[in-house]
Every structure is written in structure tokens, then in C-alpha cells.
Amino acid sequence: MPTKNRPLILITNDDSHAAKGLKTLIEAAAEYGDILVMAPEHNSSGLSHSFTTGRPLRVREINKTEGIEIYACDGTPVDCVKLAIEHFCPRRPDLVLSGINHGSNSSVNVLYSGTMGAVIEASTYDYNAIGFSLLNHNPDADFRACIPFVKQIITDVLRHGLPTNVSLNVNFPNLPAGQIKGIRVCHEAKARWADSFEKRIDPYGRPYWWLTGRFICNDYNPGTDEGALADGYVSIVPIQPDYTCYSAIEPLAQRFEKLNG
Amino acid sequence: MPTKNRPLILITNDDSHAAKGLKTLIEAAAEYGDILVMAPEHNSSGLSHSFTTGRPLRVREINKTEGIEIYACDGTPVDCVKLAIEHFCPRRPDLVLSGINHGSNSSVNVLYSGTMGAVIEASTYDYNAIGFSLLNHNPDADFRACIPFVKQIITDVLRHGLPTNVSLNVNFPNLPAGQIKGIRVCHEAKARWADSFEKRIDPYGRPYWWLTGRFICNDYNPGTDEGALADGYVSIVPIQPDYTCYSAIEPLAQRFEKLNG
């Protein structure tokens, strides 16, 4: 069991408990506190903020040693966070981490990301939460250049916390250590995915569609995460679990509040 | 096939093609344009902004008559929107609708909602998109009081459009027609879910966890969607596909941009 006088750090991801990025994050975080990992049993990329209904969840113990407990859960990343917080953490976690994801979660990708779904879920409980992602999808990606930044960001957030309900979306450019220029705190670039599916015909003459997709972004100014990453910086976007477009409330009130069904 | 001179309205939901709320929405929208429905084959509540990877999608034709085509897809609500726009719509849709959902998508529920995942996906393509939800989970819920509002909102958005990348999250109080007081355009209330899972023991002595959950909200002021609904109003929240907390960028830049890995 974790000891009571060290920070408790809850870790999850969406690439599964077996991912190299998760192991890298556990190793980097272990010097700062006791670690409890609740990660998906299977790859859960693209599961966004979804949760499991209609069937119960199972949990499998993978490791239980002094200061590091690791569990696999057959639910989504959001399920992992909820279940760990309510039924596995021996005390309130001081920090929730997710990743390091194999692949980008910058810009509009945050909408689809299971890694960031877990982070946003934690932020609704007002836990300090950080998602880390490397712009390299390879299962054997080299995370070494990320580690010093991960450690500095963990240290800062454990010491100073984050604003209420605000979490961090941290993305690393796919560069060797010496070539990363620093950190930029920025906003999400405007982008979208296109050409999402490829149509094929099965041997019986029936159509089916495979997910493909092409990332379309024309928003590379230095204030955006895509701009920061293209310039060789680590991007940090502060995010909040609120989709409201505040600037549209007043003009739309003029239009809609006069309607009466 | 739809005719070329009428608006094209794409409709989806997360309760499946067989849901009463979807049928209600199709009937309400049919007088304003040609209808193309691409709805999930199965109940997809709680699937948020997730999409399907690892297997291809299939589509089943359910109805194809003058002005109304209905298809079921074995993917998520987001898959339905992408696939319909790219492979089934004969022209660019003038409007994308989702719902009418059986149950609330107000406040933090928008994060988990498949209904709203579809709407937010459409907004990343800059389509005019609206999600409708009734605060009643019953499969046989009475949607009659919603219909005049649905028609007025569709009429207004077809005529005047919406701001770039802004969509609408419309929730109806569970009241008979005469008791709904009007419309309020508002922001998401701050809330969260707690007590998410109930632990049980199977006949072999092993634990499992069922999703339960309790909605916790203390933010019922009149400017919030929860406040509007509690007061008997239809709530409309303008939403945008951007999680950035802009007010946190500057203070966090002071902290993090001095770190250098």
C-alpha cells in the first residue's frame, strides 16, 4: 500500500496498460509520489469521453509493490479514472496523469482522445490533471526527450496546483532532446479531419467503410499548439470542461428568446 | 433521391434509429427540407466524441422514399456524421440535427453525450448543427411539447445560420406544452457526477463494478442551463469545439515558459 506522507499520483492512458508511453510516465513520476495506475486492458484510442454502460467492469491486478500499484480495467479511460478515484485510491490523489500518448492530441484531436477524456474527467472533480502526448504513433517511439519536461511540469503542478477545473494538454514535438526549443503555453489551433472513410466492396458485393482521415489545419500562428509544435516547442494548452461559446450568448439571445414555442 | 432545390437536413442521434425521439425529430423537420438520416444501429448513449477504429463500418438502408432516406450504421454517432457527409449526402447539408435525445444533455452531460458528440463533430466542419434533448429517459417519453420549439429553432437557423463553428445544445424541461415558459440562451452549469460505480461480488467471489452515478450541481443561477430548465425554460447553450481556457494562458505562461526540459 502507498504510504500516507507522499503525494498520491493516479496514472492512466488510452493505449493500454502495456504501452511504452505509460511505462515511461510511471518511471518519470515515481520519484515524486506513490503511484496508482488504472489503465485500459485494451487499446482505447479514439474513445474520447465515453463511458461503459450495459455491462459491469472488471479489474485485473498487474503489480502491487511498495509505492507502485498497477491495475488493468476493461473499461474506457474515463471509466478508469472514475473507478480508481472512487474504489482504488487509498486517499485523494494529488495529481492525475494520462499518457504519454503515442500520437498527437493537439488541436481538435483533444475531442477524440481517450488520453484527454481521462484528464478532462479528472478536472470535473477538480483534481490537478495533466495529459502528455508525443507526436509519434510508433509503439516503440523514443520518449527520452519528453522526460525532463514531464518531470519539471509534475514538480511545478504538485507545488503550485492549477486553476479550478483547469487541466493541461501537453504535446511534445517528435524531436531529439537537444532540438526542443522550450515550452509555449497556447490555445488549440482550429482544424478538422477530412476524407474520414475509404469505401471497399467485400467478396459478396457488399460495401464497407474503413476509417482513414486526413488532418486539415491552416492555423499555425505562434499562439496555437500546432504553431508551437511546428516551431519545435512543447505545447501546453490549459483546458476546461466547458464547451460554452460565451461570446455567442448575447447575439443568440436576441434571436431565440423572442420565440415561444 | 432528394430534390435539389430544398434544404438538405442530415439527422442523427445516439439512442439508435428505432428511438421515438428520432422519429419525432424526422417528422418535425420534414416540412423544412429533404431528410437524410444516418443513425446508430444500436443504442450509443455515453459514447461522447468517440469513433470506430480497428473494424470497418456497415450501413443498412431502412427507408428510401421521396424526400426521406433513413440508414442505420454500426458505428458511433460521430462515425454516422462523418460517413453521411462524405459518402451518403447528395450535396452539402444545410443543417445537421441530432436527437431528440431521451434524457438530459445539459451542463457537464454534454461531455459524455453521443447526441452532442455528433453535433460537435458537424461543427468542426462548420455545418450548422443543433442537438435536442428532453429531460425524460423513458423510451416512450412524450415529445409533443418540444415540437413547436424545434420547428421555430430550425426555421431560424435555416434562415440566419449560426456563427462560425458554433452549434446549439437545446434541452427541454419535462413539462407539458402550456407550462414551458419560453427560451433562455445560457451557459453550461458547473456540475459533476459522483458515486459512479457500485461494487458487487459474482458467484465465484470475484468483484465487478456497475455504472450508477449521481448528478451533483450547485450552479442553478438563471444564466446557466440547469437554472433555466429548473425555472421551466428551454435552455439553448451555444457551444464550440474548443476546450481552451483562454484566461489561464497568461498566468500559466509565466510559470511554464521559463522551464527548458
Mean pLDDT within B219-227: 96
Facing residue for B249 by CB, picked from A206, A238, A253: A238
| pLDDT of B83 strictly over 50 | yes
Q: Which residues in chain B have their CB less than 8 angstroms from residue A169's CB?
A: 243
Backbone angles phi, psi at B41, to 5 degrees: -60, -40
> What are A35-52's pLDDT values in tens digits?
999 999 999 999 999 999
Q: Is the pLDDT of residue A153 over 70?
A: yes
> What percentage of chain A carries pLDDT values higher than 70?
98
Indicate whether A69 pLDDT > 50.
yes
The predicted structure's pLDDT at residue B195: 84
Amino acid in the structure at residue B10: L
Q: Say what the pLDDT of residue A5 is.
A: 81
Instruction: With cut-offs at 50, 70 and 90, classify the pLDDT of residue B47.
Output: very high
A217 C-beta neighbours (distance < 10 Å), count: 18
- Give the chain B residue nearest A149 (alpha carbons): B261
Q: What band does A259 get if pLDDT is binned at 50, 70 and 90?
A: confident
Which pLDDT value is given to residue B2? Answer: 47
Q: Which residues of A touch B165 (CB under 8 A)?
A: 190
Measured between CB atoms, which of B124, B240, B252 is closest to A185? B252
pLDDT in the model for residue B4: 61
Q: How far apart are CA A32 and CA A85, in angstroms?
A: 19
Residue of B nearest to A254 (CA): B185
Mean pLDDT across B16-31: 98
Mutate to test the interface with A, among B14, B38, B44, B49 (most CBs of A within 10 A): B49
How high does pLDDT run on average in chain B? 95
Examine the pLDDT at A1 and tell me if it is beyond 60: no
Mutation for testing the A interface, residue in B45, B50, B73 having most A CBs under 10 Å: B50
Query: Using a CB-CB distance cutoff of 8 angstroms, which residues of chain A are in contact with residue B236?
Result: 252, 256
Every domain of chain A and the residues it spans: 8-189+220-256
- pLDDT at residue A2 tops 60: no
> Under DSSP, is residue A91 helix (H, G, I), strand (E, B) or coil?
coil
Chain A positions in Cβ-Cβ contact with residue B148 (cut-off 8 Å): 261
B108 interaction partners in chain A (CB closer than 8 Å): 124, 241
| Nearest residue, CB atoms, A256 vs list B117, B153, B242 | B153
Residue of B nearest to A46 (CA): B50
Cα Rg, chain B, nearest whole Å: 20
The answer to whether residue B261 scores a pLDDT higher than 90 is no
- Residues B80 and B93: beta-carbon distance below 8 Å: no
- Report, as an integer, the average pLDDT of B128-135: 98
Contact between chains at B188 and A112 (C-beta distance less than 8 A): no
B168-183: per-residue pLDDT in tens?
A: 999 999 999 999 999 9
Amino acid in position B26: I
Biggest alpha carbon–alpha carbon distance for chain A: 64
Identify the closest residue of chain A to B191 by CA–CA distance: A124
The average pLDDT across B27-31 equals 97
Are the Cβ atoms of B53 and A59 closer than 8 angstroms? no
Q: Which of A243, A246, A254, A258 is best to mutate for the B interface (most B CBs within 10 A)?
A: A243
pLDDT at B259: 85
Averaged confidence pLDDT in chain A: 95
- Residue B1 pLDDT more than 70? no
ipTM for this prediction: 0.94
Of A56, A160, A206, the CB nearest to B210: A56
The pTM of the full predicted model, rounded to 2 decimals, is 0.95
> What CATH number does domain B8-189+220-256 carry, 1.10.8.60, 3.40.50.700, 3.40.50.720, 3.40.1210.10?
3.40.1210.10
For residue B246, give the DSSP letter: G
Counted across chains A and B, CB pairs separated by less than 8 A come out at 259
Q: Residue B236 above 90 pLDDT?
A: yes
CB-nearest to B260 from A145, A182, A244 is: A182
Q: Which position has the grid cell 474503413?
A: A210
pLDDT at A261: 74
- Asked whether B102 and B146 are in contact (CB, 8 A), the reply is no
For A255, the closest chain B residue by CA position comes to B156
User: Does the beta-carbon distance from B259 to A152 stay under 8 Å?
Assistant: yes
DSSP sequence for B77-126? HHHHHHHIIIII-SS--SEEEEEEEES---TTHHHH-HHHHHHHHHHHTT
Report d(CA A34, CA B204) in Å as an integer: 32
Query: Which of these, B80, B116, B97, B100, lies nearest to B24 by C-alpha position?
Result: B100
Residues of B with Cβ-Cβ distance to A248 under 8 angstroms: 162-163, 166, 238, 240
Q: Do A244 and B260 touch (CB under 8 A)?
A: no
Residue B13 parent element (H or E): none
Chain A neighbors of B41, CB-CB under 8 A:
none
Question: What is the arithmetic mean of pLDDT over A80-107?
Answer: 97
Rounded CA-CA distance B188/B109 in Å is: 10
Average pLDDT over residues B131-143: 98
Q: What is the pLDDT of residues B186-209, one digit of tens each?
A: 999 999 998 889 999 999 999 999
Instruction: Provide φ and ψ at B182, rounded to 5°.
Output: 145, -155
Q: Is the pLDDT of residue A30 over 90?
A: yes
Cα distance between residue B211 and residue A54, in whole Å: 8
CB burial of residue B224 (10 Å; 0-12, 13-18, 19+): buried
